[in-house]
């Protein structure tokens, strides 16, 4: 498995959601009935270098030499019985200019939400009055399952306030029911479920109109 250098989160490591989506693909190969997959990131995923994926009875492990980078297994989206409520594409466009990352961003070259990236997904989640986030998302031509995992990542993190204290993705469980088509005008909504010390538990949903296409629950961890 190789994470291309353009798919970074922090400057020198892979975007957590995109990386998790690649890893999840290997779980689906080993365990075809799996619908949702839980991916735990154990170390910053290195870019542009071959990683070893080892299948096991419960899932897969991803290593860079002796370094354990990630583990993954089939899972259920427990605690997420309902999608994060949708907003229209036009509503998401209206609040996107208030994206806090335009003012302060811990990783401005992030492939998903970095304002310094012209070649990224450019998901800029604004905040709704109830604390949810919503980001307009025009689906790129090279959309893949890993792309969907990536777009389910950052809008959840921005429900926590990462502009004030940097967080990184620790674990994400996602289910992709349907891949959007290139050019679709979608929306990703996010909500903060709970904070627990340095951990923040969040949920996200990818919408195309009133159809939920994918959903995730994730744990973000504040950097010390």
The string of pLDDT tens digits covering residues 9-41 is 999 999 999 999 999 999 988 877 778 999 999
Neighbours of 123 (CB within 10 A): 29
Specify the higher pLDDT residue, 158 or 163. 158
**pLDDT value, residue 79:** 57
Neighbours of 108 (CB within 10 A): 14
Residue that the structure tokens 């250098």 belong to: 5
Q: 129, 122, 190, 186: which is closest to 155 by C-alpha?
A: 190
How high does pLDDT run on average in the chain?
94
For 107, what's the count of Cα atoms within 13 Å in the CB-facing half-sphere?
25
**pLDDT value, residue 135:** 98
What is the pTM assigned to this prediction? Answer: 0.95
- Give the pLDDT band of residue 137 (cuts 50, 70, 90): very high
């Amino acid at each position: 498995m190789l994470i291309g250098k353009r798919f970074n989160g922090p400057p020198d490591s892979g975007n957590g959601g995109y990386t998790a989506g690649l890893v999840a693909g290997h779980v689906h190969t080993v365990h075809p009935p799996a619908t949702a997959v839980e991916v735990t990131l154990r170390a910053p995923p290195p870019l542009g270098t071959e990683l070893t994926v080892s299948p096991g009875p419960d899932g897969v492990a991803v290593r860079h030499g002796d370094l354990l980078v990630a583990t993954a297994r089939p899972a259920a989206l427990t605690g997420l019985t309902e999608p994060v409520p949708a907003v229209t594409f036009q509503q998401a466009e209206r609040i996107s200019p208030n994206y806090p990352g335009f003012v302060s961003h811990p990783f401005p070259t992030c492939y998903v939400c970095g304002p310094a990236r012209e070649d990224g997904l450019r998901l800029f989640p604004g905040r709704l009055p109830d604390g949810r986030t919503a980001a307009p998302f025009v689906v790129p031509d090279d959309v893949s399952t890993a792309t969907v995992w990536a777009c389910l990542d950052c809008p959840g993190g921005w429900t926590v306030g990462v502009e004030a204290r940097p967080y990184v993705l620790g674990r994400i469980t996602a289910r992709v029911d349907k891949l959007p088509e290139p050019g679709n005008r979608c929306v990703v909504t996010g909500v903060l479920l709970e904070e627990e010390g340095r951990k923040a538990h969040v949920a996200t949903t990818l919408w195309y109109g009133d159809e939920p296409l994918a959903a995730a629950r994730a744990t973000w961890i504040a950097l010390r």
